[in-house]
Structure formats: structure tokens, C-alpha cells
Amino acid sequence: MATLNGADFVALFHAIAQMIEREKDHLSALDGVIGDGDHGVTMSIGFQAVDKALADEAPDRTPADICMLAAKTFLNAVGASVGPLYATALMRAGAAVKGKSDVGPEDVADMIAAMAAGIEHRGKAEPGQKTMVDAWHPAAEAALGAKAGGSLKDITAAAADAGRAGAEATASLVAGKGRSANLGDRAVGHIDPGAASAAMILDTIAQWASERAD
């Protein structure tokens, strides 16, 4: 069974930071249609700060330590809405594997579920409101569904597929939260940028897992 240590999680955050840099303009363009156009820049500021903070970390840090430092760094770098949401998600992910020096596939499923629960709790949002929850919630259900006996690759691929489908489905929704809620029907036809970036993060997790898993 594949296991992952703190250094693997540093590599994951690096991969996410690089992906966000590639997608930054695209994410801000999505946000420009139904929001204030800053989502790509905001996510970039947060994950660049995380990547930088983790690069200096001691190699013996546990996955939980890495997630906790990422949470704190993201929150310090990004004050606005998405900051507390991902900070809470990462804190919950760390808490789910506290004390473990290595984590396995089932732990990763629990971490994804913990992230989704944290975002829903902190954002007081539920599926169907055209937010990042529409990607994270089905991804968590898929990860937990694949958890029993599933490989790391299977679990993370299931989460990524469900997250992508959930993000795409936000196009048909009227927003129930945030700035885009003011647009009413005019937001219909456009994907929520927070759900889009969530799906991209889940996809990056699946790619990272497939490069490490047996």
C-alpha cells in the first residue's frame, strides 16, 4: 500500500501552486463574468505563500504539520472570503491525520472529506448554491465511497471526477451565496470560479497520487 509522508505533501502543495499559476488568468476571467474578477489572483497569492513557506520546512514534518502550516500561511496571505475557507479546510485535513508520520489511501479519503466539511461549515454553504461546495461536496462523497479497499489512485480519481462534474454543473445554477447572488438569472450559464478552482485542485491531487501510488 502506498503511503505518503510530509515531503509528499510539500510536493503536492508545490504542484497545486504551479497549477494555480498556469490557471490564474483563466480563473480571474471566470470570476470577472459573475464576480469581481480577482479569484485567480487571490488563489495565486495564497498558494504562492504556502509554497514558499513549505519550501523552508524541516523534512521530518508530518502531513498534519504541513497542512496546519499551509492553513496558517494561506489565511495570513488571503484575508478575503476564500482565505478562511481554505484555511479551515486545511486545518481540518491536518486534524484528520494528526500524529501520523505517514498516511495511506483511507486517510487521504478522510482528508478530502474533512476539507469539504470544513468549507461547508465555515462558509455556511450547502450544495446547490453555486459555490466551491458544489465541487467539494460530491468529491468528498466519492472519496468516501471509494475508501473501502480503494487504492490512493482510485480514491483521488473518484474525487476528481465528481468534483469536475460538480463544478461544471454550477453553470446551470442560480447563485445562493456571495456577490454573484445579486445577478440572479444572469449568473446562469457561467461556472462558479470557486468551484472551478476546487475541481482543478482535486485534479492536481489525483495526478499527484497517480505519480506516487502503486
Q: Where does this chain bind Mg ion (CB under 5 A)?
A: 31, 35-36, 38-39
Considering the complex, state which of residue 30 and residue 213 has its C-beta at the smaller distance from Mg ion: 30
Considering the complex, state which of residue 88 and residue 180 has its C-beta at the smaller distance from Mg ion: 180
Least Cβ distance, residue 31 to Mg ion (angstroms): 5
Q: Please choose, from the candidates 7, 6, 21, 12, the residue with its C-alpha nearest in 3D space to the C-alpha of residue 156.
A: 12
Least Cβ distance, residue 193 to Mg ion (angstroms): 7
Whose cell is 468534483? That residue is 163
Considering the complex, state which of residue 88 and residue 131 has its C-beta at the smaller distance from Mg ion: 131
Kindly give, in sequence order, each residue whose CB lies less than 8 Å from that of residue 86, ignoring residues fewer than 6 positions away.
Answer: 46, 71, 74, 78, 119
Least Cβ distance, residue 38 to Mg ion (angstroms): 4
Distances (CA, A) of 135 to 99, 102, 128, 139, 197: 29, 27, 10, 6, 9
Question: 22 φ, ψ to 5°?
Answer: -65, -35
Least Cβ distance, residue 200 to Mg ion (angstroms): 16
Helix axes 193-212, 105-123, angle to 10 degrees: 170
User: Could you give the CA distance from residue 50 to residue 77 in angstroms, rounded to a whole number?
Assistant: 9
User: Could you give the CA distance from residue 58 to residue 56 in angstroms, rounded to a whole number?
Assistant: 7
CB atoms within 10 A of CB 11: 15
Considering the complex, state which of residue 31 and residue 192 has its C-beta at the smaller distance from Mg ion: 31
Considering the complex, state which of residue 39 and residue 147 has its C-beta at the smaller distance from Mg ion: 39
Considering the complex, state which of residue 130 and residue 153 has its C-beta at the smaller distance from Mg ion: 130
User: Could you give the CA distance from residue 49 to residue 36 in angstroms, rounded to a whole number?
Assistant: 22
The grid coordinates listed for 157 are 480519481
Least Cβ distance, residue 28 to Mg ion (angstroms): 8
Least Cβ distance, residue 45 to Mg ion (angstroms): 12
